[in-house]
Structure 1
């Protein structure tokens, strides 16, 4: 269960500020897992030099660890989070992400859900690119 008492998967996104393009993501943890823990499983957390161009950094909220490339400048930004805006856009374009009607009874079922979400992330980036 997540904090809203729903079955869910944790989805971590790193988005570009100017166009909401997704540059890195992490999927597959249970929705009840803390974001900072799920973040540690992302490629970005271990290979940030491969994911981020030189002299770039990530703005994150205070739940994430401070690193030279990962900063949390604001505790509660007024305009909300860019990642939240990206999730709203994703769920607007792909209504299936609001509530997947799939039963996860095996590892293969979990992979189907992960691939489903990955396809939506790829299509999101295509929409952002061609818009």
Structure 2
């Protein structure tokens, strides 16, 4: 697979169309520019130059959503698949909303496609716990530590820990502040996952909270996987019949209060840089 964080991996024709320069000319300009004060956690110079050329060529940023080299790859949230009271380990499935369920982690892209689903844990598990033990987080952490991915992120609400690969909103920002404006932009981008969950559960009623399925948790997890695959098929064939009626799901966020770590500190630096970059474009 092509390295989607490197615009130079685009085919030459697509590269010229996007940036109006050949790859040789692009590399020449990149070598001539000086990026003073560049931090290891910042957006790489190659991506900065690519974004600038794309803006100059097109006159706007709008087409960069879902670009061929990705900056934000998706959004993440948790949702509950209702169950009747299980006979084994009942306490692990009783959620804070007062019923039994699976806490299913959903990752989607900007077109409502489900990129990952993890329904292994009961409703008593916190969103951050499900995320911490997921294969997706392990992969992103490994890629980050190997210096392969430094500018690929998921957007999560405050129920997730701030990490170099998972950006969360600022807590309690002052009204009108730069942090508040970042949170507004973050919320507008991240709400796609709430709509995706709403569409998924609206179309496949077996997953809805009020059904309290009689099936065992393991079977419900399998149903979740199948429904997610069918959801993506519907998206592919542009069946939007449920998008209008089930546009979002109301989700009460339980704030993650995890300890400050080295990775959290890196996440703070990355988030602050993106916040300042957004402020400069307004």
Q: Does 1:26 align with 2:26?
A: no
Could you say which structure has the higher helix fraction?
Answer: 2
Distance 1:93 1:21 in 2: 14
User: Larger Cα Rg: Structure 1 or Structure 2?
Assistant: 2
Q: Does 1:101 align with 2:197?
A: no
- 1:125 aligns to what? 232
Structure 1 residues 6-17: aligned runs within 5 Å: 6-17=99-110
- 2:178 aligns to what? none
Distance 1:61 1:2 in 2: 19
Distance 1:91 1:29 in 2: 18
Q: Which sections of structure 1, spanning at least 5 residues, go unmatched?
A: 105-109
Distance 1:130 1:118 in 2: 19
Aligned partner of residue 81 in structure 1, secondary structure: helix
Deviations 1:59-105 (A, max 9, x none): 1112212222211143883687322211110111111111242143x
Aligned length: 122
Distance 2:212 2:224 in 1: 10
Aligned partner of residue 5 in structure 1, secondary structure: coil
- TM-score w.r.t. the length of structure 2 is 0.40
Q: Does 1:69 align with 2:177?
A: no
1:43 aligns with one of 126, 135, 138: 135
State the 4+ residue runs in structure 1 displaced beyond 4 angstroms: none
Aligned partner of residue 187 in structure 2, secondary structure: coil
- Specify whether residues 38 and 90 from structure 1 end up closer, same or farther in structure 2 by C-alpha distance, changes over 3 A only: same
Q: Indicate conservation of the 8 Å contact 1:26/1:41, yes or no.
A: no
Deviations 1:36-55 (A, max 9, x none): 00111211110024xxxx54
Q: Which sections of structure 2, spanning at least 5 residues, go unmatched?
A: 1-93, 144-148, 170-182, 239-282
